Amino acid sequence: MTEQGTRKIALYVLAAFVIGVVLTVGAFYLVPILPSQAQQESTSVQAPAVSVPVGSNVIPDIVQRTSPAVVLIETTAEKKTRLNYDPFFNDPFFREFFGGRLPFDSRTEVVRGMGSGFIISRDGYILTNEHVVSGADQIQVTIVGHDKPYKARIVGADHDLDLAVLKVDAGNNLPFLALGDSDKVRVGEWAIAIGNPHGLDHTVTVGVISAKGRPVSVQDRNYKNLLQTDASINPGNSGGPLLNLNGEVIGINTAVNAAAQGIGFAIPTSTVKPVLETLITKGKLLRPWLGVYIQSVTQDIASSLGLSKPEGVLITSLVEGGPAYKAGLEQYDVILEIDKQKISDTGALTAKVEKLQVGQKVNVLVFRNGKYLLVPVVIGDKNSNNQ
């Protein structure tokens, strides 16, 4: 072999060696960047553990297991209603002829209502909405597998939270539902609603949790912390359970936005659990209360009252016989502090009073007619005043 041929072979060997080194080093650095299939599977985002595959029996199994504890609640109440007379009969002179009233100008009418509830103990305690049974003269509960409805009595109720506990005497071996932890619920999780919408007993609807912590006002109730779901909720669902995929109650179906589709609300169990025992044992909740109607102080209000700046809350009126009324607070007083804690607006006052105890004595700093006054007030119970 010639010297030139030897050099060519040497160059080929050297080139092969260099290429091998480059490939080896490149592979070493590329492995972390381009993981194997096994590595990709171990590091990828996994589907939630609660996902339900197509054809799964999870939801039917939950419904079959929990439905017997869901009850139909029917109420009756007698109410006097005025008849719809011809305008001639409403003439005040004509009424005067009959001594200020018309003969047969009112009648007693039986008003019927319907809702849902669910059993929470083997001995027949039932949880529902307060608005389902409010004002009822008679309450009947229909339980799956029982021949006839049972008369129920209210053992505890709270208007503001819209919660009521009923009791039926139907033995000590009733099916019941467990209360889950709504704080652990995540938006997007499956939710199952069971109830009696429009009297169609044990109707099942399924959706997801759309949002948490929704504040909603319905008539004179101000709900502060509702679960929102797109599981269909209709009149008659009120008081029924909203379940998770463990078959636990995470909420009490309460309200629906009639102007929208797929927007229903439920009271979370985080609201129910802390008060349930008190409702059962004492029949009501103690609600700290001042008995005042208030509004925030604007610049115009501050100027008209002689305040140097907008601060505190203005008492627009007082409940006669309420704690503030008894203590001597007056209309147009401006509440500035409670026990030296500044009150900046209506929300701050409400939050402060809610943390107080019924019967607790507090010192309220008010501004009245250009003077600062310290007025002692004993916090009352709103529920006692409503009775």
Q: What is the pLDDT along the chain (387 residues), one digit of tens a residue?
A: 555 555 555 545 445 554 454 444 444 333 333 333 333 333 333 333 444 454 578 999 999 999 999 999 999 998 876 655 444 444 444 444 445 555 555 677 888 999 999 999 999 999 999 999 999 999 999 999 999 999 999 999 999 899 999 999 999 999 999 999 999 999 999 999 999 988 888 999 999 999 999 998 888 888 989 999 999 888 888 999 999 999 999 999 997 776 767 899 999 999 999 999 999 999 999 889 999 999 999 999 999 999 989 999 999 999 999 999 999 999 999 999 999 999 999 989 998 998 999 999 999 999 999 999 999 999 999 877 654
Q: For residue 209, what pLDDT is reported?
A: 97
Tell me the fold of 68-168: Thrombin, subunit H (2.40.10)
Q: How many CA within 13 A on the CB side of residue 247?
A: 17
Single out the residue of 112, 175, 177 nearest to residue 144, CA to CA.
175
Rounded Cα gap, residues 289 and 204, in angstroms: 40
What is the fold, at CATH topology level, of the domain defined by 288-386? Pdz3 Domain (2.30.42)
What SS3 class is residue 99? coil
Residues classed as catalytic: 131, 162, 238
Phi, psi of 287 (to 5 degrees): -120, 105
Q: Where in the chain is the domain with CATH 2.30.42.10?
A: 288-386
Residues 6+ apart with CB under 8 A from 92: none
Q: Which residues pair with 78 in a beta bridge?
A: 110
Half-sphere exposure of 22 (CA within 13 A, CB side): 6
Q: What integer pLDDT is reported at residue 106 of this predicted model?
A: 62
Domain ranges in the chain with CATH number 2.40.10.10 = 68-168, 182-275
Report the SS3 class of residue 14: helix
Reported in sequence order, the residue ranges of 273-312 that DSSP labels E, i.e. its strands, are 288-289, 292-296
In sequence order, the β-bridge partners of residue 375 are: 364
Amino acid at position 310, single letter: P
What's the rounded Cα separation, in Å, for the pair 214 and 28? 53
Its pTM stands at 0.71
- Local structure of residue 46 (DSSP, 8 states): P
Cβ atoms of residues 126 and 140 within 8 Å: no
Phi, psi values for residue 93, rounded to 5°: -70, -40
**How far apart are the C-alpha atoms of 281 and 318, rounded to whole Å?**
32
Q: Are 291 and 268 in contact (CB under 8 A)?
A: no
Does the domain at 182-275 match CATH 3.30.420.40? Answer given as no
> Residue 191: its pLDDT value, please?
96
Angle among Cα 266, 267, 273 to the nearest 5 degrees reads 145
Q: Label the pairing between strands 125-128 and 138-142.
A: unpaired
